[in-house]
Structure 1
C-alpha cells in the first residue's frame, strides 16, 4: 500500500523555510525533499490558499512563511492538505442489506471515527514551532 507522506514533507519544508534567508524556490525545496518542483508547487499552493505560506513570483521569488511557526498547528497543515486518509481500513459494501454486515460496519465506523478524532486532537496540540524547538540547531540549508 502506498503511503501519503505530504504532511511529513511539508513540516520538514516549513521548518527549513523559517531558517532560510529570503524566499526558497520550488526547485530548492524539491531538491531538499528529493521530489519534483511541480509537486512542491502544487502542495505549497494549497498551503498558500490556507494562509500558511506566501509566494513571490519572478527573479528572487519563491516560498516564504506567511505567519510564525508558533501560529501553525499540525492540524492546520493536515486540513490544508485535504485531510489525507489515515487508514487503509474501510467498510464492506458486499451485502448492504445484510444486518450482520451493517453491524460490522457500524462497529468499525465508530472505531475509525474515534481514532480520527484523537488524531486530530493530537495534531491540534502541536505547533510547527514545537517541532523546531525539539529538533535543535539547524544541520541543513536549502541547496543552491
Structure 2
C-alpha cells in the first residue's frame, strides 16, 4: 500500500504560504505539489473548515492562512487532512475465530492504540512554526556553506 503523503505535502504548503507567498491560488499550489487544482481545492476545504486557511474567490483571490503557524499544531493538520490511517499493520477487521489469532489481534490492537495515543500527543505538542523554523535553520546553514542549488525555484 502506498504511503499517504497528504499531511507532509500540506505542511509544505502551509510553510510556503507563511514564508513565501501569503496568498496562493489553487493553481499555484497544484504546480508546487505536481497535482490538479481540483485536488488542491478538495484538500484545502478541510483546512478552511478547520479554521487554518481562508479563501477568497475571483480575481486576486486564493488561499491564505487564517492564523499564525505558531497556533497550528501537527494534530490540527492531521485532522484537516481527514485523519488518515497511521499504521499499515494490524489485525483483520473481522473477528477471529482462532484463539491464537484472537490473542495476537488483542495484543496488536492494544499496542497500536497506545502508539497512536503517543503520536497524537506528540502531534499536539509540535507547532507548524517549529517545522518552519527548522527549515529556516537548514536553509541558513546550506547558504553559509554554499550548498544551495541556484536552480531551485521553490522559495519564491
The normalised TM-score by structure 1 is 0.90
1:45 and 2:60 matched: no
CA-CA distance at 1:28 after TM superposition = 0.3
**TM-aligned CA distance change 1:97 to 1:12, over 3 Å:** same
Give 1:15's aligned residue.
15
**TM-aligned CA distance change 1:11 to 1:96, over 3 Å:** same
Give 1:74's aligned residue.
74
In the TM superposition, 1:81-92 aligns within 5 A as: 81-92=81-92
Give 2:27's aligned residue.
27
1:135 and 2:135 matched: yes
8 Å contact kept, 2:50–2:80: yes
Note the residue ranges of structure 1 that are not aligned, 5 or more in a row: none
Give the whole-Å Cα distance in 2 for the aligned partners of 1:95 and 1:86: 21
Give the whole-Å Cα distance in 2 for the aligned partners of 1:10 and 1:48: 13
Give 1:65's aligned residue.
65
More relative contact order in 1 or in 2 (CA 8 Å, sep 6+)?
1
Note the residue ranges of structure 2 that are not aligned, 5 or more in a row: 141-153
SS of the equivalent of 2:97 reads: coil
